[in-house]
Structure 1
Amino acid sequence: MVHFSYLLYFSMGWGYEVNIYRLLSSQTHLCVLRAQPVGLQTTMESTVKKLEVTYNPINERNTFTNGDFITGQVTLEMGKDCQIESLFVKFKAKADVTWSETYGKTTVVYHSKEKFFTLKQYFIQSKDSKDGEYVQLVNRSSEYSSVVAPGVHVYPFQFPAQNVPSSFKGPHGKIVYSLEACLSRSMRPDKKESTTVTFVSKADLSDISALQTPQRMSMDKKMKVFTSGSLAMEVNLEKSGFLQGEGIKVVSFIKNGSSREIKPKYCIYRKQSFFAKGRRKVHTKELIKEEGSPIPQKVSQTVTQVIAIPHDAEPSILNCNIIKAEYRLKVYLDIKFASDPAIKFDIVILRASQGSAGLPPSYSAAAGLGPEAFGNSAPAPWNPAPSSGNPAPSSGNPAPPAWNPTPPAWNPTPPAWNPAPPPGTQAPPQPSSVSSPLPPSYGTHQLYPSPNDFSQKKF
């Protein structure tokens, strides 16, 4: 007969329970020691009740672009007095690529990442804190007491949107912007909370002549086997850079000297390329297919076709080393029982300014494409080879602008900086009028130990 008998229970100083059991049988006597943590997690949760990071949207799309400022707040709710080593919020952007390939019985994982920037604002900073090579500190003058009293504390922050690629998510890679709050205490694991931010590079074509330059390509083909004669085609585009929702005006001069009727066709397709360890993974997808009227044999004709770019087409990404999102326009002639001659153009699709959706197509110089959409260089070729290795981001990041500027006129008034008090607490009285739409000074934050006390407790 085998049974367990409970022998001893006691508690250790580091928050562990120790239970000792003896396994009794006619042949075996075995003591089993089992240790498990108790009370430690409960103690932590009772001290730090909530850590949250939120930001304030500035438009209906909930997106940010070059020149915007991302404002928000870190909310910290404490259950009792606590000594904090550091509390900060971090705004970062990075690209990440991963895929695997199987060679026989061997599977190889290809992975690469690229960091664009990391901006960090401390509210409470330890003297021993060290920041990495790519970290740029902002608002260092914001200082709060390292001993935090019970209640809800709100710490406002502000970051400038950087000049980097748009947010992106593909089958083998992504470009992510995120805000992360981190709380550090002595002999405790760090507590972190994060949220993602959608960034879209600003479209501004006014200073990029390459994307405004007309394009022209031509081809000739002599027919064989089932079709006799020859074909000639010349295709013209007014430019190569287009906004979401804009129409591409395609003018083609087609000389059908063959013995068959032909039909001009058009296709816009997207090409996504992912680079890692000297390898490339490619995905293509057709977005639009259209066709024109048939052209009889032995007839020459000028054909004009307007192809509208979808409003939700993802902007081109040309300024990332490990992810490329590119577009091509293909114009080809459909011929029965023969290969179809084709001409391909590289085109660039950029984000349309808010409110431009639904406007009629524009065939003249498009407003709104600028150098910031492509970094500091001209657009990359269709299949640029990735540079050897992934170069580190330049350490010479420009200094950030003044941190408390007057928000642009189109920015909505940020929400009140005092969050709702915890359940069961009387809401603090609100002023009868707002004297200024600007957020409060970065040197103050709000505390909710009681409904009538909004000042930070001094230690």
Structure 2
Amino acid sequence: MSPIKDFTFTYEALNRDIFFSEGDTITGTVTVTLTKDTKVKSLSVKAKGDAWVRWMEADEESVVMHRTTKRYLEVKRYLVSETYIDTVLPRGVNHLEFSLTIPLVDLPSSFKGPHGQIVYKLKAKLSRSWHWPLRRQCEIKFFSKSLQHLDQVVMYGSVNTDLGIFSRRMVKMLASVDRLIYSPGDTVSVSVNIQNSSSKRMKPKFILQQNTEYSTKFSTKTCVTILCKMVGEKITRKSEEMVTCQLRIPDDVVFTLTNCKLVSVRYFLKVYLDISFAKDPEVEFPLVIAPSSVANAVLGEAVERNQAGAS
């Protein structure tokens, strides 16, 4: 009968979103409960991060599987080193503290999609001579700090459209958003000034879109998901109107991901006018989706910069 009654580990959260980033230190405790004094060959804790993408493409003649994998992180610490003769752990409850520091290198955020994943795990391993090792693991969330530098984006856009010789009038649209970095569950506020000098009626439309791209060395697969779509009231001919719209970001969306060769996730807000028999004028805003603590920090830094510039 095994003397190991229980083998578990826990780790401490650094923030309310319970994620880690480059340079963070993961601290925790491994607990080994023994019914008697026991020789242990080694006891280690490891943090690792792996990415993979996979999809199939088929035609009438063949089926091609596209796939690739990449390891981004592997950090290991021994609590009982295997370089020594078996260490004896005493009977009862043994608490062994550990710490693992994530390197200050550019790492992609955690991600799960239908054709790929980026997963970070924390693993504990207990080895004894002439016995199968015991393993415990859990998944941890990782968010890349590199996204904190993506707030320097224009928050407004405009477009002019000539409706052609039959109308001989212009349509002007100026759109703006309240900010460009959000968290899951937030609401995007959009304001649009529309100057319709034509004889046509038109409708403003708003689309919140997610573009996910999976890549291998030789192929790329792009998935476009419409997260939210809204239609405004008709704009009458020869008029000027201000239209506002609010689009809610779903609670379960993944974070923006731009620093991984295998997977990228980008978000766009598209504002356009639906005009019959004419090219629809469109303004597009790239948005960043991040944990609430990161988004709030970036917004706070932006406010401080604006206040400093105004003084």
Of 135, 141, 146, the match for 1:192: 135
- Is the Cα contact below 8 Å between 1:260 and 1:335 reproduced in 2? yes
Structure 2 unaligned residues grouped into runs of 5+ = 303-311
Looking at structure 1, the residues matched to 156 and 103 of structure 2 have their Cα atoms a distance apart, in angstroms, of 32
Of 57, 68, 73, the match for 2:29: 73
Deviations 1:207-244 (A, max 9, x none): 66633x444342424358xx744543343436873222
Deviations 1:170-220 (A, max 9, x none): 111122121101123334443321011123345985x66633x44434242
- Structure showing the higher helix proportion among its residues: 2
CA 1:273 to 1:332, structure 2 compared with 1: closer, same or farther past 3 Å? Answer: same
Q: Give the counterpart letter for 1:367 in structure 2.
A: G
CA 1:274 to 1:126, structure 2 compared with 1: closer, same or farther past 3 Å? Answer: same
Let me know the Cα RMSD of the aligned residues.
Answer: 3.5
SS at match of 2:118: strand
- Is the Cα contact below 8 Å between 2:39 and 2:86 reproduced in 1? no
Matched, 1:307 2:240: no
Of 93, 99, 111, the match for 1:152: 93
| Alpha-carbon shift at residue 156 of structure 1 (Å) | 1.3
- Structure showing the higher strand proportion among its residues: 2
Of 157, 163, 166, the match for 2:109: 166
Q: Give the counterpart letter for 1:263 in structure 2.
A: K
- Is the Cα contact below 8 Å between 1:215 and 1:240 reproduced in 2? no
Deviations 1:141-172 (A, max 9, x none): xx996233443322111234566333221111
Deviations 1:287-316 (A, max 9, x none): 2222333221233x2534253552734321
- Is the Cα contact below 8 Å between 1:123 and 1:144 reproduced in 2? no
- Is the Cα contact below 8 Å between 1:229 and 1:259 reproduced in 2? no
CA 1:303 to 1:144, structure 2 compared with 1: closer, same or farther past 3 Å? Answer: farther
| Alpha-carbon shift at residue 105 of structure 1 (Å) | 5.6
Deviations 1:86-133 (A, max 9, x none): 210001222222222234464332222232221111012223xxxxxx
Q: Give the counterpart letter for 2:299 in structure 1.
A: A
Q: Give the counterpart letter for 1:177 in structure 2.
A: Y
Matched, 1:89 2:45: yes
Looking at structure 1, the residues matched to 263 and 178 of structure 2 have their Cα atoms a distance apart, in angstroms, of 24
Looking at structure 2, the residues matched to 112 and 204 of structure 1 have their Cα atoms a distance apart, in angstroms, of 25
Of 126, 131, 153, the match for 1:183: 126
- Is the Cα contact below 8 Å between 1:84 and 1:184 reproduced in 2? yes
- Is the Cα contact below 8 Å between 1:85 and 1:184 reproduced in 2? yes
> Which TM-score applies when normalising by structure 2?
0.78
- Is the Cα contact below 8 Å between 1:271 and 1:327 reproduced in 2? yes
Give the structure 1 partner of residue 238 of structure 2: 298
CA 1:293 to 1:103, structure 2 compared with 1: closer, same or farther past 3 Å? Answer: closer
Rg (Cα) greater in structure: 1
SS at match of 2:152: helix
1:282-297 alignment to 2 at 5 Å?
Answer: 282-297=222-237
CA 1:70 to 1:311, structure 2 compared with 1: closer, same or farther past 3 Å? Answer: farther
| Alpha-carbon shift at residue 317 of structure 1 (Å) | 0.9
* Larger deviation, residues 163-172 vs 243-252: 243-252
CA 1:115 to 1:77, structure 2 compared with 1: closer, same or farther past 3 Å? Answer: same
Q: Give the counterpart letter for 1:261 in structure 2.
A: R
- Is the Cα contact below 8 Å between 2:208 and 2:247 reproduced in 1? no
Of 185, 199, 202, the match for 1:262: 202
Structure 1 unaligned residues grouped into runs of 5+ = 1-42, 128-142, 357-364, 370-459
- The percentage of counterpart residues that share the same residue type is 30
- Is the Cα contact below 8 Å between 1:111 and 1:277 reproduced in 2? no
> Which TM-score applies when normalising by structure 1?
0.56
Q: Number of aligned pairs?
A: 297
Give the structure 1 partner of residue 152 of structure 2: 210
Give the structure 1 partner of residue 8 of structure 2: 52
